[in-house]
Structure 1
Amino acid sequence: MTTDVHTLVVGGGQAGLATGHHLRRAGIDCAILDAHPRVGDAWRRRWDSLTLFTPRRFDALPGLAFPGDPDGHPGKDEVADYLAGYAEHFALPVHTGCAVTALRPAADDGFVAETGTGEWTARQVVVAGGAFHTPSVPAVAARLAPSVVQLHSSDYRNPAGIPDGDVVVVGAGNTSVQIAAELAAAGRRVTIAYDELGTALPQRLLGRDIFWWFSRLGTMGLSGERGIGARIRAQNPIIGTDVRGLLRTVRRTRRVVDAERDALVSADGTRHPVATVVWATGFRPSYPWLHVPVLDDRGAPVHRGGVTDRPGLYFVGLPWQRARGSAVLGWVGRDAEFIAGHAAAAAGHDRTAVRTG
């Protein structure tokens, strides 16, 4: 069965939902395809104690406040429920359990999307997923013995799921320090491996949440291409974790450069016997289903603010797509509005309509 729609949105997370909302405001017929069984499931599958850095007042998508204490920080299940509620509130045309297996150019300059439940045709496509889809794990992982338990941070749930023995958490970002701190608090023997962490920032500063300051100073709207934004992008600040306190409870070693069956080898040559490795090493872009020539040699989208050289094909939700907040829950709506405006103009609609809600 083939279903035709004017604009297809691939991905039903926060980026896809915000884009769908703006497209509907502009009067564009659209459909949102999401591979998960329920809206919000990408959040439900993250580790149990995950809590957002951003307070609820900065976690809303366009047109619907995030419920609860505006100065409190929601957990991952609360975010998932908010997204599901958002889709329901605006009656967004989300099709769950509908994974796109191939997207190709159509003969009429539109696009054809193949899914497990049928085929879709569209004049325009907005890709709102794939940037955080595939775990990035170093090649040295393959040299560890099968007896060493390995998992990416996306598969970590809680300390109870980690076997006894020494744990090495590999990574230099917020995820690595949060997981290392949780494991150490549970009494586990933890080593964290990195060369350099970004600047550690407190969750609260002078009585205000750090994101209140970011909002007032315009930090989340900075481009990562130059100036202060480029420096922030390179540093990847650690927010809300007492790094000094953490380093009093865990061991620290240089970045991992090799593995020898039951041990990891750090950059200074130190060998670290290990029972479990948590690879908090981020994600790589992955679009194996995208058969349109808009990706570079690394498989990352080539775009300008989410607009590609292929007419009618857009991206939203990429890290630093247009600004620091491009992939952050409470700020992704700005890029969604920008992309929906382009799509509306291309369709001959009034692009200013996307700003009305």
Structure 2
Amino acid sequence: MPIDNDRILIVGAGQSGLAAVHAALEQGLRPVLLEASGRAAGSWPRYYDSLALFSPARYSSLPGLPFSGDPERYPRRDEVVAYLERYAAALIERGAELRTGARVEAVHPAGEPGQSGFLVRLADGQELTAPAVIAASGSFGRPHRPALPGLDTFAGPVLHVADYRSPASLPGEHVVVVGAGNSAVQVAHELAIDSAAGRRVTLASRAPIRFVEQRPLGRDLHFWFHVTGFDRLPLARAEAPPASPVLDDGRYRQALREGRYTRKAMFTRLDGDRAVWPDGHERVDAVLLATGYRPNLPYLTGLGAVDAGGHPRQRRGLSLTYPGLGYLGLEWQRTPSSNTLRGVGADARRVVAALARHARGGRLHARAGAATPPHAR
């Protein structure tokens, strides 16, 4: 099957995939966007109902299309969904091809003798070829469930935050939320102030919650990130990315001080309908895991492009095993904002430019065999 050197296949039509399409059009490539669901909005339609962006609209746009309205507001989930769908429509008008209901099953090497490239097989049996592929499928489809003692035999419901929608999602008088990040604290707070339920909420974590003021000196934190260049700062290589702090406008710390919800060190085990701590045990009706996600890349397993844990072998978005393969939307991929609306556009420009050079006969800067970068958490 001949390979069109101007085509680039992009897996996933969320914010990362859409940013990749924009960058590909700027490079004069013909992007084909493959989305497993029926719409171009990524995981946003499946996030919990109350979710809002941590950054104001002013700092939350993809390249070429600012959010409309008050630039200082924090857009909510459904507004982000509508924005992404408008963005996709604008890209299609410029010539991008979007295929919804196109789940990628596998990516294989392909090409004529002397050529390099990829054959992408879809769940319906269709096959597509291209000299370059970008994996932008994110991590929402692979929620991380830590191996907590007794979790699998716990008597009540165990829900990952990926499946949480509202306080109605969790029944019972006592809910334990596992985690110490933004989602854990936001959901614990939401459950605690749900006065109709009158429930007790315990937030269990291995480390204390690290709060950061959302609006220091009267300006949103992202204003300071922008003026100082922090969001654009390339990351030094490390064994693991640092834990993200909890952005707080004052509500979460105040509710914690008032005892609306409590924070305890991690329980040692779950036993039937109880959580066991070193100093005692308590009855628990439900457990919610706000324990993050892992890259969702099962379609690359056959290529040997991911390690045993499913993490991509990449450096700053370029594969260390296959020239022509790129990644977008990985946590801390290149900068602190790599997997966000405000930051993925810059990564997309770099990755797509490198893949365009490869597709047209250039050389990638990534060097096969170099050390593997830190895993996304």
TM, length-normalised to structure 1: 0.90
Q: How far apart are the structure 1 equivalents of 2:3 and 2:359?
A: 19
2:137 counterpart residue number: 129
1:221 counterpart residue number: 232
Q: How far apart are the structure 1 equivalents of 2:99 and 2:82?
A: 17
Task: Give, in angstroms, the shift of residue 2 of structure 1.
Answer: 11
1:47 counterpart residue number: 48
Q: Is 1:246 aligned to residue 247 of structure 2?
A: no
Decide whether the 8 Å contact of 2:138 with 2:329 is kept in 1.
Answer: no
- 1:100-139 to 2 correspondence within 5 Å? 100-108=104-112, 109-117=116-124, 118-139=126-147
Q: How far apart are the structure 1 equivalents of 2:349 and 2:270?
A: 46
Q: Supply the AA of the counterpart residue of 2:31.
A: C
Q: How far apart are the structure 2 equivalents of 1:111 and 1:184?
A: 50
1:186-238 Cα offsets, whole Å, 9 max, x none, are 13210000132453112212121111111111121233426xxx799424111
Match of 1:272 among 260, 274, 282: 282
How many residue pairs were aligned? 347
Match of 1:173 among 178, 181, 185: 181
1:281-321 Cα offsets, whole Å, 9 max, x none, are 00122322212122123210111111113111111111111
1:59 counterpart residue number: 60
**Structure 1 spans left out of the alignment, 5+ residues:** 352-357
Match of 2:358 among 346, 352, 355: 346
Worse-matched range after superposition: 141-150 or 106-115: 141-150
Decide whether the 8 Å contact of 1:166 with 1:274 is kept in 2.
Answer: yes
Q: Is 1:95 aligned to residue 99 of structure 2?
A: yes
1:18-46 Cα offsets, whole Å, 9 max, x none, are 11111111111220101111111510111
> What is the RMSD computed on CA atoms of the aligned residues?
2.5
Question: Structure 1 residues 145, 85: closer, same or farther in 2, change over 3 A?
Answer: same
1:355 counterpart residue number: none
2:9 counterpart residue number: 8
Q: How far apart are the structure 1 equivalents of 2:42 and 2:345?
A: 19
Q: How far apart are the structure 2 equivalents of 1:269 and 1:345?
A: 61
Decide whether the 8 Å contact of 1:144 with 1:261 is kept in 2.
Answer: no
- 1:68-87 to 2 correspondence within 5 Å? 68-87=69-88
Task: Give, in angstroms, the shift of residue 93 of structure 1.
Answer: 1.7
Q: Supply the AA of the counterpart residue of 2:357.
A: A
**2:314 aligns to what SS in structure 1?**
coil
Identical positions, percent: 39
Q: How far apart are the structure 1 equivalents of 2:135 and 2:18?
A: 12
Question: Structure 1 residues 166, 300: closer, same or farther in 2, change over 3 A?
Answer: same
Task: Give, in angstroms, the shift of residue 335 of structure 1.
Answer: 0.2
Match of 1:261 among 240, 260, 272: 272
**1:94 aligns to what SS in structure 2?**
strand
TM, length-normalised to structure 2: 0.86
**Structure 2 spans left out of the alignment, 5+ residues:** 364-377
Decide whether the 8 Å contact of 1:36 with 1:42 is kept in 2.
Answer: no
1:329 counterpart residue number: 341
